[in-house]
A and B are shown apart, each in its own frame.
Chain A
Amino acid sequence: MKNIRNFSIIAHIDHGKSTLADRLIQYTGMVDERNFQDQILDNMDIERERGITIKSQAITLPYRAKDGNDYSLNLIDTPGHVDFSYEVSRALASCEGVLLLIDAAQGVQAQTIANLFLAMDNNLAIIPVINKIDLPTADVERVIEEIDSELGLDPFSHLKCSAKEGIGIEEILEAIVQRIPPPTGDPEAPLAALIFDAKYDSFRGTVIHCRVFEGTVQSGDIIRLVYNGATYKVDEVGGFSLGRLRREKISAGEVGYMIAGVKTVSDVHIGDTITLDQRPCEKPLPGFKEFKPVVFSSIYPIASDDYEDLAVGLEKYKLNDAAFVYQKDSSAALGQGFRCGFLGLLHLDIVQERLEREYDLSIILSVPSVRYRFTLKDESLVVIDNPAHYPDPMFIAKGEEPFIKAILLLPEKYLGAVMKLCMEKRGVNSKLNYLSPGRVELIYEMPLAEVLFDFYDRLKSVTQGYGSFDYEVIDYREGDLVLLDILVNGEKVDALSQIVHRENARQRGLQACERLKEEIPRQSFKIPIQGAIGGQIIARSTIQPFRKDVTAKCYGGDITRKRKLLEKQKKGKKRMKMIGSVTIPQSAFLAVLKTDTD
């Protein structure tokens, strides 16, 4: 056990986490140059394209240290986005230490701090690593300052590297051996293993990724999942190389996998404890929480014939994403579909993209919503996440919406602009901390609904990319919440309805009408777009009919060029939905929530 190190790399998005993981893997000879592919651990196309890690991954790196001993370094890669902070916390709970990666040009950002807190909560050894020191804009001295003043860590404890150029990799590996403590635990004690991830394998069913804290598990054991009490017989256990590496047993201190005939990943809960049915541990490992989706939207097939395909696609998708929940739903405008819950907007985006890409589905998502609570006059409580279920306003005594605590880090000179943005988003109870000269931490309490949609983009724009942001949901607060309906060509499109604060209703209605005017292609007739509250029109815009195309020459026999243009337009049309006699593009439903970034 003394030759094992369990660690993770944490960082703000784009600070080079996946690249550093690549280098560590390469350095320890896990993969030769020929088979090397960037972002080895990001093995979904989406992860590579977007440069973010969505699923956790684990890999054991064999390393012979300068002290002459051989070590097994277990790297647990974590998702890199606030939507997935619970998974990150469970992955960290499986480690004894972290590399806290900081971009030498950008310095400490909001997620750096949020991740640091997560690591501190888990009592981990923290090794600050300054990455990208090769950049011409690198300012290592300033970052060392920030490590001291903003993170409160020993500034002399830092390492410098350029993951891209492969500089400083050996020093990092040595530091992992020397500064991260080996795991402790008793291989003979009753089994206690923490589930930090679960993946679906179409041949083997669910593969549970776990960290064993106490005891030992081997094939043939009957395990019990503490949260739901389900028991399974273990088929196979093992550790991680570039793939799974079957072993006889895994014991206290080790990171590994378990295959035990679990049908879907939804049957296991990240953060849950695995123990032995016959000889259970005394109490489960701490920190377990149930997944709670915060953003809701309905998914409809663009062609109603595709409903069955969508149902199958969702079922398959769900096998591998325990955080995603759905149930049947239907809309007057869009027909049969599914109401779905997501961890955040990025999660929603990813689900949409994967359904389209991996299951070849053309889908429309209704305007996303958070979950609201309404107390009715008869004192009953209704919880709704779908504007279609907004109660009759006659009977509403009180409406409540979720609030978050938003933590923003920014250069002081943007303070005014950011405060203005937060106020516009109904932020309250602000707190301001000066972290170091010229840099501030701003804390606001804000309605989740206001931040979900375009807050992040606007923050980036008003701070020219220097502002960063992290949040957690704190509580529900009362608000005057009304239902804003959208009528296109006189027809109410229920999938475009949203619940808004009365104060903002008119402005939001205008915004939605203007947005839709831009998104909905002109048609052969005039299309009025209206925003209404309870039948009263509060906003409108009009799409003028098209009258004249630019019918350029089709000469010299070059028909191909023109055809390609039309093919492109036709493809765009496939992602539109006929509602009444108007075609509405997929993009319109999400665009309604976006404000102009000026």
Chain B
Amino acid sequence: MFTNQKSEIGNRKSKVPGLYIHVPFCLRKCNYCSFYSITSLSSIPDFLKALLQEMEMVHDPWGPFDTVYIGGGTPSLLTIKQLESILTRVQKYFRLLPDSEITLEANPGDLSLPFLRSLKSLGINRLNMGVQSFDQKILDFLGRRHSLEQAISAIESTRLTGFQNLGFDLIYGIPGQNLASWQKTVEQALTFLPEHLSCYQLTLEEKTALGQRYRNGEFQLPEEDLQYDFFMKTSEWLEGAGYLHYEVSNFARSLTFASRHNQKYWNHTSYLGFGPAAHSFKDGERWWNHASLDPYLADIENGKLPVEKKENLTIEQLRLEALFLGLRTKRGISLQDFTRQYHSDLLFEKKEVIGNLERQGFLSIQKGHLVPTRAGLAVADSLALI
């Protein structure tokens, strides 16, 4: 069993660290994606060798972990053997708690029945699928390599294989999209009863294909009012369907299914990352690996940790992070904890602003927590600047 109803998933007091592995390969680059990835698969063997070495170098520094998240890139591009070598290495050097959440990010195009069965036998118990849309035209616009048909059949196969924790990524705010067409995608997603849904607003980064086309004036993005409607309606529909809107972009069928791993990022729990561009955090220190493969490989070759940079966060920086991360979550910010940790009494210092935002319906105070309302989540970043 991979879930434990009594576990403290999502509880901020669960400070068990998480482990992240970044697989920087993609068959093709999606038009909107600015994450680091390489489309030439020939260096996968070198990468794997280095990754395994990196884990050996770091060893087990901080006691047991309760999540492993294999992200990317497209980790589902790896063969079962390759994934197995990674997970075996994880088991060898790091202690995992028995009910650990082990997630694989997957492209629907990669998920054949035999592959899924093998994934399951490797102990992977959560799949996060980059579905993005149930509209073929939008998939084309985004430059996804999977087809609508592949997505549907992959989802069905996952269920057949017995995966009981399945998440979809979906994107809204696409040029030309209206509320009705987005609603269709959401409704179709719901027919599969996913345990988890991530609904992102399309953001255009400078260096992406779409970013370039946008600058050339080839298309327009939906106006802010429509973006607002997308956001609010999504939240209404999904909460109406029984999902918990637990973070700006994330919905879970119940608290149990909230991404245990991602929450560690949002509440300053420790995490340890491997692979290019992976970030790690512990005790107010954050560091990250070289984003591109070559310097990453070179460092490991020379017996050096491939860390590009380290930063020691000041209490002021930790406070700002706690504020903006907290206000992106349904739980909000525990006022007592905040005061204790950052020596800063929000209710006292920002009395007037918080009062105004409460009256305007952006914030509320519930059981000692400063909690964003739905409209508040829509402007979470602005709230963090109070």
Contact B317 A563 (CB under 8 A): yes
Instruction: Decide if A573 is an interface residue (CB 8 Å cutoff).
Output: yes
Contact B362 A551 (CB under 8 A): no
Chain A contacts for B321, CB-based, 8 A: 559, 563
Give the docked Cα–Cα distance between A548 and B249 (Å).
13
Instruction: Decide if A67 is an interface residue (CB 8 Å cutoff).
Output: no
Contact B385 A566 (CB under 8 A): yes
Contact A548 B379 (CB under 8 A): yes
Q: Count chain A residues whose beta carbon lies closer than 8 angstroms to a beta carbon of B.
A: 25
Chain B contacts for A566, CB-based, 8 A: 320, 324, 381, 384-385
Give the Cβ gap from A583 to chain B, nearest Cβ, in Å: 10
Main secondary structure of the interface of A (DSSP, over half): loop
Q: Chain B, 270-314, contact with A by CB distance < 8 Å: what is the 0/1 string?
A: 010100011111000010100000000000000000000001000
Q: Given B278, B324, B378, B385, which contacts A557 in the complex, CB threshold below 8 Å?
A: B278
Contact B360 A525 (CB under 8 A): yes
Contact A563 B265 (CB under 8 A): no
Contact B228 A548 (CB under 8 A): yes
Instruction: Decide if A327 is an interface residue (CB 8 Å cutoff).
Output: no
Kindly report which residue of chain B lies nearest to residue A558, judged by CB atoms: B279
Given contacts A547-B378, A549-B379, A581-B356, contact A524 B362 (CB under 8 A): yes
Give the docked Cα–Cα distance between A547 and B232 (Å).
10
Given contacts A559-B265, A559-B321, A563-B320, contact A554 B385 (CB under 8 A): no
Instruction: Decide if A555 is an interface residue (CB 8 Å cutoff).
Output: yes
Chain A contacts for B385, CB-based, 8 A: 566, 569-570, 573
Contact A551 B265 (CB under 8 A): no
Kindly report which residue of chain A lies nearest to residue B22, judged by CB atoms: A556
Q: Count chain B residues whose beta carbon lies closer than 8 angstroms to a beta carbon of A.
A: 46
Main secondary structure of the interface of B (DSSP, over half): mixed
Contact B224 A547 (CB under 8 A): yes
Looking at A524, A546, A556, A557, which has the most chain B CB atoms within 10 Å of its CB?
A557
Instruction: Decide if B227 is an interface residue (CB 8 Å cutoff).
Output: yes
Chain B contacts for A551, CB-based, 8 A: 201, 248-249, 328, 377-378, 380-381
Kindly report which residue of chain A lies nearest to residue B323, judged by CB atoms: A566
Chain B contacts for A563, CB-based, 8 A: 317, 320-321, 324
Instruction: Decide if A567 is an interface residue (CB 8 Å cutoff).
Output: yes
Instruction: Decide if B325 is an interface residue (CB 8 Å cutoff).
Output: yes
Give the docked Cα–Cα distance between A374 and B265 (Å).
65
Chain A contacts for B320, CB-based, 8 A: 563, 566-567, 570
Give the docked Cα–Cα distance between A562 and B273 (Å).
18
Contact B71 A548 (CB under 8 A): no
Contact B20 A559 (CB under 8 A): no
Contact A549 B317 (CB under 8 A): no
Q: Given B262, B325, B382, which contacts A546 in the complex, CB threshold below 8 Å?
A: B382
Instruction: Decide if A50 is an interface residue (CB 8 Å cutoff).
Output: no
Kindly report which residue of chain B lies nearest to residue A547, judged by CB atoms: B228
Q: Which of B358-386 contact A (CB under 8 A)?
A: 360, 362, 375, 377-382, 384-385
Give the Cβ gap from A556 to chain B, nearest Cβ, in Å: 6
Kindly report which residue of chain B lies nearest to residue A552, judged by CB atoms: B203
Kindly report which residue of chain B lies nearest to residue A569, judged by CB atoms: B385
Chain B contacts for A570, CB-based, 8 A: 320, 385
Chain B contacts for A549, CB-based, 8 A: 378-382
Chain A contacts for B225, CB-based, 8 A: 547
Give the docked Cα–Cα distance between A554 and B281 (Å).
14
Given contacts A524-B356, A556-B273, A556-B277, contact A548 B227 (CB under 8 A): yes
Q: Given B22, B224, B262, which contacts A548 in the complex, CB threshold below 8 Å?
A: B224
Q: Chain B, 52-63, contact with A by CB distance < 8 Å: what is the 0/1 string?
A: 000000000000
Chain A contacts for B360, CB-based, 8 A: 524-525
Instruction: Decide if B48 is an interface residue (CB 8 Å cutoff).
Output: no
Give the Cβ gap from B173 to chain A, nearest Cβ, in Å: 9
Instruction: Decide if A394 is an interface residue (CB 8 Å cutoff).
Output: no
Instruction: Decide if B335 is an interface residue (CB 8 Å cutoff).
Output: no
Given contacts A524-B356, A556-B71, contact A550 B20 (CB under 8 A): no
Give the docked Cα–Cα distance between A569 and B22 (Å).
30
Kindly report which residue of chain A lies nearest to residue B381, judged by CB atoms: A549
Provide a sorted-by-A list of 10 A–B residue pairs whose CB atoms are within 8 angstroms: A524-B360, A524-B379, A550-B203, A551-B249, A557-B288, A559-B265, A559-B279, A559-B321, A559-B325, A566-B320
Apart from A550-B381, A556-B265: 9 A-B pairs, beta carbons within 8 A: A548-B201, A551-B328, A552-B201, A555-B262, A559-B286, A560-B288, A563-B321, A567-B320, A569-B385
Chain A interfacial positions (CB closer than 8 Å to B): 524-525, 546-560, 562-563, 566-567, 569-570, 573, 581
